[in-house]
Amino acid sequence: MKLFYSPGACSLATHIALFETSMEFSAERVDLKTKLTAGGADFRAINPKGYVPALQLDDGTVLTEGPALLQFVADQAPEAQLAPAFGEIARYQLMGWLNFIGTEVHKQFSPLFNPAASEEAKGNARQAITNRLGYLSSTLESRDYLMGNFTVADIYLFVVLSWSGHVNLSLADWPVLQAYLGRIAARPAVQQALRAEGLVK
């Protein structure tokens, strides 16, 4: 399978998950401005939505949307224990976390990366993120990971929270979250993905 990614974007979460499972895959960088892959192909022919991540399977099928890809990858390697099995109540709790991260945290960062966004929109986004960070911090005060054990939800949240440094959003008021990020950053698969995307040496 092949992962199409852009360095540091939400596709980093799928990249990390793939390394966590030790599955064989290739990865190709996408320029989100030109919509061209590193090989010169029109990325929109692969994913008409024009954004990452996209995961092309060996039979040519293309899967998109980060939360779906994270669950797909986890299900290909159940021994990695990145997601509870379908049918277990914990699986639906995981899906709840993935939806919360995607809609309530991830999307709130969008105005902060958009130079055309008004100051009012950016201020509203910062306030929304701050509220969510308070909730996440209180959740993680009594556990190391969102569901107690490490799952793809933690991978996704790690990537989204790592954007705070790029938009001048300090996490100093949430030492619990800083410690959480440190725990995840120390994982070998995370470091491997960061190196693969040129984000660390």
Is 26 within a domain? yes
Q: What value does the mean pLDDT take over residues 137-162?
A: 98
- The reply to whether 73 and 104 lie within a common domain is no
- The reply to whether 131 and 165 lie within a common domain is yes
Q: pLDDT band for position 201 (50/70/90)? A: confident
- The reply to whether 46 and 112 lie within a common domain is no
pLDDT at 44: 98
Which tokens is 175 given?
A: 């030492």
- The reply to whether 106 and 159 lie within a common domain is yes
* CATH, residue 135: 1.20.1050.10
Structural domain boundaries enclosing 59:
2-81+189-196
Which tokens is 188 given?
A: 């070998």
Q: How far apart are CA 116 and CA 123, in angstroms?
A: 14
- pLDDT at 63 > cutoff 90: yes
- The reply to whether 95 and 68 lie within a common domain is no
Considering its fold, how many domains does the chain have in total? 2
Is 49 within a domain? yes
Is the Cβ–Cβ distance between 150 and 94 less than 8 Å?
A: no
pLDDT at 64: 98
pLDDT at 116: 95
Is 201 within a domain? no
Is 163 within a domain? yes
Q: How far apart are CA 55 and CA 139, in angstroms?
A: 31
- The reply to whether 139 and 66 lie within a common domain is no
- The reply to whether 70 and 100 lie within a common domain is no
Which tens digits make up the pLDDT trace of 24-54?
999 999 999 999 999 999 999 999 999 999 9
- The reply to whether 98 and 174 lie within a common domain is yes
- The reply to whether 149 and 122 lie within a common domain is yes
Nearest C-alpha neighbor of 72 from the set 141, 170, 62, 148? 62
* CATH, residue 75: 3.40.30.10
Q: How far apart are CA 201 and CA 192, in angstroms?
A: 10
Q: State pTM to two decimals.
A: 0.97
